Structure 1
Amino acid sequence: MGVDTVHTTASEDSGIGASEKYGSVAKVEDNSTHLAAVRGHVATDRYGNALIDFDPAAERKLRLKIDFMIVPTVSLLYLFCFIDRANVGNAKIAGLEKDLKLKGYDYNAVLSVFYISYILFEIPSNILCKKIGPGWFLPGLTLLFGISSLGTAFVHNFSQACGVRFVLGIFEAGMLPGIAYYLSRWYRRSELAFRLSLYIVMAPLAGAFGGLLASAILTLPHIGSLKSWRMIFFVEGVITIGLALIAFFTLTDRPATAKWLTQEEKDLAIARVKSERVGTTEVLDKLDKKKLLRGIFNPVTLGTAFIFLLNNITVQGLAFFAPTIVKTIYPHATVVSQQLHTVPPYVVGAFFTVLFPFLSWRFDKRQIFFVISAPLMMIGYIMFLASTKAHVRYAAAFLIPAGAFSFGALCTAQVSANVVTDTARASAIGTVVMFGNVGGLISTWAFLPFDGPNYHIGNGLNLATSSMTLIMSILMLLYMKSNNGKRDKINVDAELAGKDSKELEDLDWTHPAFRWRP
C-alpha cells in the first residue's frame, strides 16, 4: 500500500544491491509490500536519487490525515502567539499610553524590549525544541507566553510594561521556528510551504481577529477590577492558557509516536521524508555541531534570512502600528470603528499568505514567489508617499499585506528545502527567524510620533526594504541556478571516495550530489 516499486539497481562501484546497502523492504504475511524504515540506512543513492517510489494514492491519504491531525493545533497556537504579541497595538489606542503615562518614545521602547529577548532566544529555543521534542516544547511555550500576556493586564508603569514584554519575548521566540521545524518532520519539501502558510496565515488573521476581539472586549464595562485595555490582555491571555493545556494532549511529537497512524503509515511517513535527504541515515539525527553550523552558514539560509529581516520590518510594523495608521486615515471615527477598519486589509493579506505557498506547493518553487510578492509592497508604499487622500491610503493598506505576509511561509520553507539533515534544518530555520526579528526590532522605530500623521520616514523605509527584497530575491535565484550548473560538472564518485556514512551525513548541502531547490 505504502510503496509502489523499489529501486534495486546495483551500486556501480561495489556491486552491492541498493536495497541491501541503503535500506530494506520486508514482505508481510499478506504479501503486500511493507516499507521498513530501517535505522542506519540511507534512502537515496550517492547521486541523491530516491531508492523508493511511493504509491501516490497512499501518500495522498497519509498527507490528508496529517493535515487534519497536525495543522489545526499548531495554527491555533500561533494565532494566539501573534495576538498576544500584537494586542499592544490595540491597547495603545484604547488608553494604554495614557494610563501608563508613556511619553515620547516610551511606546516604541516597550515594543523594542520584546524583540531583544525574542532575538537572543531564537536559535537556542529551536535547538531546545529538537532536544525536548515539539510535542511537549510547543505547548509548554504557549502556556508560558499566555501567562506573560495575562500579566500585562496588571502593569502600572513603563518599567513593569518593559519587564513583562521582555519575558513574553523569551517564550514567544521558539514558536515560529519551532512550528516550522516541527512540520518539516512530517512533510516533503514541496508540501511544506503550503502547510507552513496554514499556520503563518494566523498572523494576518490575528490582526483581523485581534481587532474584532479587542472591539468586542472593549464593549464590556469591566472584568472584576480590570477596565478598558487591561481586559484585552486578560481575556486573550486566559484563552491562550486554555489552548496550551489542550495542546499537551493533542500535539503528536513525530510520526513514530503517532497513535492515529498505522504502523505502515508511520513507515511511509518516515521514509518519504527520508527519501529527499541525500546521505542521511536517520530522519531525526542527534545534535551535532558540524551540522548545526552547516545550517546556519548555508548561503541560501543567510540570503533568505536577510530577505526575511527586510520583510519583517513591514510585517511587524503593520502588527504594531496598523491601528495607529488607520487612525490617521480616519481620525474622526470612533475607537471601535478604527479597530474594525484594520480587519479587511488583514483578510486580504491572509488570502495571499495561503495563495502563494499553495502555488509554491503545486510548482515546487519558492524563490519566484519572493520576486512576485515584493512589487505589491513597493506599490503600496509609493501610494502612501504620493497621496494624502484617505481612499488611496486605505487601498494601499490592502496591497502591503498582500505582498508581505506570504514571506513567513516561503522563507522558512525555502531554507528547509535547501539543507539536508534534521539538525541543520533546526538551526537554519532558527537563523532565518532570528534575522527576521531583527527586522521586527527595527520596525518598532519605523513609525515615530514626530513623523505623524503622514509618516514619511516609516513609509520611505518600508519602500526601501521592499525594493531591496526584490533585488535580493532575483540575485539569489540567479546564484542557485548558476551554482547548480557548477555542481553538475562535479565527479560525485571521486568526491565521495573513502568517506564513511558519518562523514557523508556531515556534508549536508556541501554533498556533491546536492542541488539547490529554488
Structure 2
Amino acid sequence: MSEKETTNNTAHVEANAAAALENLGIKTVTHADGTISTAAGNGQVATDAYGNPLVTFDDAAVRRLRWKLDLYTVPTVALLYLFCFIDRANIGNARIAGMEQDLQLEGFDYNVILSVFYISYIIFEIPCNIFCKWIGPGWFIPGTSLAFGLISIFTAFVQTQAQMSAIRFLLGIFEAGMLPGIAYYLSRWYQRAELTFRLSLYMVMAPLAGAFGGLLASAILTMDSFGSLTSWRMIFAVEGVITVGLAIIGFFTLTDRPETARWLSQEEKELCIARVKSERVGATEVLDKLDRTKLWRGMTCPVTLQISVIFLFNNITVQGLAFFLPTIVRTIYPEYTVVQQQLHSVPPYAVGAFFVLAFPALSWYLDRRQVLIALSAPMVMAGYIMFLASNVAQVRYAATFLIASSTMVLGPMGNAHISANVVSDSARSSAIGLNVMMGNIGGLVATWSFIVWDAPDYPIGNGLNLAAATVILIVSTSFYFWMKWDNKRRDGRSVEEELAGMSQKEVSNLDWKHPGFRWRT
C-alpha cells in the first residue's frame, strides 16, 4: 500500500470513529494536520473556563451506558462491602452468643477490643486509599477483601482477650480502605448526580449487614458445629469463608477504569470518560498521576472538611448502633432467647436500608446533597429523645427504627458530596480517605458510648448521640448558606484575568480553587 493510500485509509478510519462519537453526542475537533481529537482524550478539556460543559450527549446512549455500568461495577463491590461490614460488626452478635464468657471479658474489656480495631482503621485510612489509587481499585478492593476474610476466619480460634485485640487490630488495617476505596472507584465511572445513588447501592449493605448479619448469625447458631468450632466461633468462621470466596470472584469481575473495560465498546469508553470530564472544570484527564498538590487540595477543600466533621459525629451513631443494637434489644426484651434477640435486631436495619436508597434517589433526581444531609438529623434526634424520655420497651424499640432510618444515609450522601466538589482523581482519593478517617474517629468514640455501668437505660450513650445529631444539623445548615454566599462571591471574579499566563498543569492543579469552579450544593 502506498504512503498516500495509507494516509487516506487512516483519515477514513478516524472519520468513521468521529462519526460514531458524534452519534453519541461527543463533539470532535479536526486539527490542522488532519488528526481528530475528542473531549474524552487526554490533554483535552470538556468544559470552558467557567465550568460549562463543551459536550452534549445522546440520552439513549447515556441510558445504555449507565445500565452497563450498573451491572458491571456495582454488584461485586456491594457484596464485598456487605461482608466487610458483617466481618466488622459480627462481634456484637458473638458477644451475646457466649464470647464474653469464653474469653472471660469483664468491665470495659469489650469496649477495649472494639477500640483497638478503630486505632488501626483510623491510622491506615488515608494511606490505604492512596495505595488503592496507585495499584488500581480492580486489584486493591478484592485483595484487601481476601485479607480481612482470612482475618475473620482466624478470629474463630482466639482464646484470650489479648489475642482478640491483636486480631481486631489486623482487621482494622485491611478493612480501612474498603469504604473510601469503593467510593473513589465508583467516582471514576459516574457523573455527580448519578454517583450519590450508586454509592447508596453499596452502602445500603451496612444496614443490610445488620439485618442479614443477625439472620445469618441466628442460622449459624442453630448448627451443632462447624468443623471443630462451636457456638460464637462458628459466626466468625462461616462468615469469613464466604468473604474469601467473594474476594476471589472479585479478582475476575472488577475493572479498574473505563479505558480497560473489556465489556465497553471504544465509543462507550469515550462517552464514559467525556461525561465525567464534562463536570470537572480545567480537567484534561479523568485519571491523573499521583500529585502532592492535588492530594492536598482534596484534604483542604472546605466541603471535605465540613463533611468530615459531620461524618465523625454521624459515625458515633452508626457504629454505636452496629455494635450495641443486639445489646440494646437484650435490655428491652431480656426474657427472650438469644436467637429471638438476634432476630429483633433485624427490622430496624431493614427500614434503614430503605432510607439509605430513598435519600440518594431523591438526591439524584434533584442533584442536591447539602440540604438532604441537614434533613437527616431531626429523625435521629427524635429517636434519642425517645430513648432518654421513656423506659417503655415498645417506645424504645420504635426509637431504633427512627435512628436507623436516618443515620445511615450520610455515608453515600457525604462521599458523593465530596466527590462533586473536588475536581481531580487524586484530590478525590485523598478527600474521601480523610472523610472516612474522620468518620472512624467517631466510630472509636462509639465504642465507649455505651458502657457497662451506664446500663440498662444508657443515658450517657443516648445523650451523647443526641448531641452528635444536633451538631450535624447545625453544621450542615450553616455550611449550606456559606456555599451559597461563596458562589455569589465567586461570580464577581474575572476568570480570564486570573488564569492568564498559567500553564495547563497549573490550571489543573487549582482544582476547587479554579475561579470558574462553583460549589455543588
The CA deviation at 1:36 is 6.5
Cross-structure match for 2:331: 328
Root-mean-square deviation over aligned CA pairs? 1.5
Decide which of 125, 144, 147 is 2:147's aligned counterpart: 144
Cross-structure match for 1:420: 423
CA 1:2 to 1:215, structure 2 compared with 1: closer, same or farther past 3 Å?
farther
Q: State yes or no: 1:262 paired with 2:260.
A: no
Matched AA of 2:238: V
What pairs up with 1:87-486 in 2 under 5 angstroms?
87-486=90-489
The CA deviation at 1:258 is 0.7
What pairs up with 1:52-71 in 2 under 5 angstroms?
52-71=55-74
**Mapped partners of 1:25, 1:173: distance in 2:** 43
Matched AA of 2:178: M
CA 1:20 to 1:303, structure 2 compared with 1: closer, same or farther past 3 Å?
farther
The CA deviation at 1:56 is 1.2
CA 1:19 to 1:82, structure 2 compared with 1: closer, same or farther past 3 Å?
farther
Matched AA of 2:383: G
Q: Secondary structure at the match of 2:376?
A: helix
The CA deviation at 1:324 is 0.1
Gaps of 5+ in 2: 1-19
**Mapped partners of 1:226, 1:114: distance in 2:** 24
The CA deviation at 1:20 is 5.8
Cross-structure match for 2:14: none
**Mapped partners of 2:183, 2:496: distance in 1:** 34
The CA deviation at 1:460 is 0.3
Q: Secondary structure at the match of 2:411?
A: helix
Q: Write the deviation string for residues 128-163 of structure 1: whole angstroms up to 9, x where unpaired.
A: 000000000000000000001111000000100000
TM-score scaled to structure 2, two decimals?
Answer: 0.94
**Mapped partners of 1:126, 1:492: distance in 2:** 33
**Mapped partners of 1:411, 1:240: distance in 2:** 27
Contact 1:204 1:405 in 2 (8 A): yes
**Mapped partners of 2:225, 2:86: distance in 1:** 21
The CA deviation at 1:7 is 6.7
Q: State yes or no: 1:37 paired with 2:40.
A: yes
**Mapped partners of 1:517, 1:188: distance in 2:** 12
Q: Secondary structure at the match of 1:420?
A: coil
Cross-structure match for 1:509: 512
Contact 1:2 1:55 in 2 (8 A): no
**Mapped partners of 1:371, 1:159: distance in 2:** 41
Q: Secondary structure at the match of 1:319?
A: helix
Cross-structure match for 1:496: 499
The CA deviation at 1:476 is 1.1
Matched AA of 2:170: V
**Mapped partners of 1:223, 1:51: distance in 2:** 60
**Mapped partners of 1:149, 1:20: distance in 2:** 57
Contact 2:27 2:39 in 1 (8 A): no
Contact 2:39 2:45 in 1 (8 A): no
What pairs up with 1:10-21 in 2 under 5 angstroms?
none
**Mapped partners of 1:440, 1:5: distance in 2:** 46
**Mapped partners of 1:417, 1:2: distance in 2:** 26
CA 1:6 to 1:223, structure 2 compared with 1: closer, same or farther past 3 Å?
closer
**Mapped partners of 2:21, 2:518: distance in 1:** 27
Decide which of 65, 77, 80 is 2:83's aligned counterpart: 80
The CA deviation at 1:389 is 0.3
CA 1:255 to 1:225, structure 2 compared with 1: closer, same or farther past 3 Å?
same
**Mapped partners of 2:365, 2:458: distance in 1:** 39
The CA deviation at 1:76 is 0.1
Cross-structure match for 1:15: none
The CA deviation at 1:334 is 0.3
Q: Write the deviation string for residues 276-325 of structure 1: whole angstroms up to 9, x where unpaired.
A: 11111110000111100000011110010000000000000011000000
The CA deviation at 1:37 is 2.5
**Mapped partners of 1:462, 1:72: distance in 2:** 33
Q: Secondary structure at the match of 2:56?
A: strand
**Mapped partners of 2:120, 2:252: distance in 1:** 29
**Mapped partners of 2:144, 2:311: distance in 1:** 23
Contact 2:150 2:240 in 1 (8 A): yes
**Mapped partners of 1:2, 1:355: distance in 2:** 35
Q: Write the deviation string for residues 255-279 of structure 1: whole angstroms up to 9, x where unpaired.
A: 1111111110011011110111111
Identity fraction in percent: 65
CA 1:110 to 1:47, structure 2 compared with 1: closer, same or farther past 3 Å?
same
The CA deviation at 1:224 is 2.1
Matched AA of 1:92: R
Q: Write the deviation string for residues 343-367 of structure 1: whole angstroms up to 9, x where unpaired.
A: 0000000000000001001100001
Cross-structure match for 1:30: none
Matched AA of 1:190: A
Matched AA of 2:68: K
Q: Write the deviation string for residues 461-490 of structure 1: whole angstroms up to 9, x where unpaired.
A: 000000110001101101110000000000
Contact 1:25 1:36 in 2 (8 A): no
**Mapped partners of 2:253, 2:374: distance in 1:** 38
**Mapped partners of 1:2, 1:185: distance in 2:** 20
The CA deviation at 1:223 is 1.4
**254-263 vs 202-211, which moves further:** 254-263
The CA deviation at 1:5 is 4.9
**Mapped partners of 1:462, 1:453: distance in 2:** 16
**Mapped partners of 1:460, 1:283: distance in 2:** 45
Contact 1:7 1:19 in 2 (8 A): no
**Mapped partners of 1:470, 1:139: distance in 2:** 36
**Mapped partners of 1:42, 1:188: distance in 2:** 16
Cross-structure match for 1:29: none
Contact 2:93 2:217 in 1 (8 A): yes
